[in-house]
Amino acid sequence: SKRVGVLGAGQLGRMLAIAGYPLGQKFGFYGMSDDEPSALLGHMHKQSDDTDSLQKLVDFADVITYESENTDVETVRKISQTTPVYPGEKSLFVTQHRGREKGMFDQLEIPCASYRIVDSLESLQLAVDEIGVPAILKTTTEGYDGKGQFVLKEKEQIDEAWKSIGGRELILEGFVEFHRELSIVAVRNANNEHVYYPLVQNVHHEGILRYTIAPAREVSEEIQQQAELYMQKLLDELDHVGVLTLELFETTDGLVANEMAPRVHNSGHWTIEGALTSQFENHIRAICGLPLGSTEPRQPLAAMINIIGETGPVEKVLTMDNVFLHLYDKAERKGRKLGHINLIADDEESLFSLFKELSDFLPK
């Protein structure tokens, strides 16, 4: 039994703990703000946001992990001198910066959008000339749920784009014409075991993931192999321990990488009831030096629907078969992820009819 310290106390940490308890692990959290869900799990030790309680968490823990790629690298470096932190510093350093991330894609010959780093209106103008429009401008760090982005449809929008998110380092990316968005969750442990979940299909609305279908429909064995090869290269290059997620665009020319996350991912939440071992359990297994579990789906089809902004008619969900409710105990706020609903089905038709019944939770 190991004591796992989690930097962050949101829903990801909470679901890691829920998966880790049956394996006999203990959990402690270092909360970054007061209204995070793990704070409300009474039997967990909630830490407040100061260096004293960070030290308490480090003293408590046999191993430390983190919930977010925005975790401070310097903090992780310091902790690593006394306590192992997984995924390691390199995984965090690369994935928290879109430019470094794309640099690694290039280095490993993983196709991605063309891009330029810009830090002034002049360099943005130059970058738009080189990359052309449409293009998408993003902050290099800290963005999530599509925040800190501006889609440039025309060159005339350069000033407006810079006014809207400029004044800091940005990345301009060529707009990828994709058929669908896919993602793959993979896991590596320190014994260099690798496991891969099937590619899943993600549907976003206003920059936020709304639902995932798992496995993605009509994915050839070849495409799955391609995605696994990309993941294997990334896991090995990063010397990654834990879950790593890669978001991909499916295009006429094959898979194009968008971004990656050194952690359990929203598009992997379906694995809780949908796979033999959930992404959360496999992350805990990996960072605790345990053998990894099977990533096989339990049934032909699964899906995950996010509950965004308001909780909605969740009691109805509880009356439905093959449907599983996961609420994070967070206050309602526009655009906020409050929970998700997992679904399992034998075929597309039954999945579709469950989706119809759950239309209250889908974007209008």
Rank residues 95 and 277 by Cβ distance to ligand ATP and give the closer one: 95
102 annotated binding-site participant: no
Total residues contacting Mg ion by CB under 5 A comes to: 2
Which part of the chain contacts ligand ATP (CB under 6 A), choosing from 153-161, 171-179, 287-295, 309-317? 171-179
The correct pick among 114, 175, 290, 357 for binding ligand ATP (CB under 6 A) is 175
Q: Residue 176 interacts with ligand ATP (CB under 6 A)? A: yes
d(CA 235, CA 241): 8
101 interacts with ligand ATP by CB under 6 A: no
Contact between 100 and 94 (Cβ < 8 Å): yes
Judged by CB under 6 A, the residue of 62, 89, 142, 145 near ligand ATP is 145
- Is 113 among the residues that bind ligand ATP (CB under 6 A)? yes
Q: Could you say which residues in the range 188-207 bind ligand ATP, by CB under 6 A?
A: 204, 207
In whole angstroms, the minimum distance from the beta carbon of 248 to Mg ion comes to: 10
Contact by Cβ (8 Å): 362, 307: no
Contact 289, 146 (CB under 8 A): no
258 annotated to bind ligand: yes
* C-beta closer to ligand ATP: residue 11 or 47: 11
Distance CA 87, CA 59 (A): 19
Among ligand ATP, Mg ion, none, partner that 9 touches (CB below 5 to 8 angstroms by kind):
none
Residues that bind ligand ATP (CB under 6 A): 113, 136, 143-147, 173, 175-176, 181, 204, 207, 247, 258-259
Could you tell me which residues are annotated as the binding site for ATP? 98, 138, 143-149, 173-176, 181, 204, 258-259
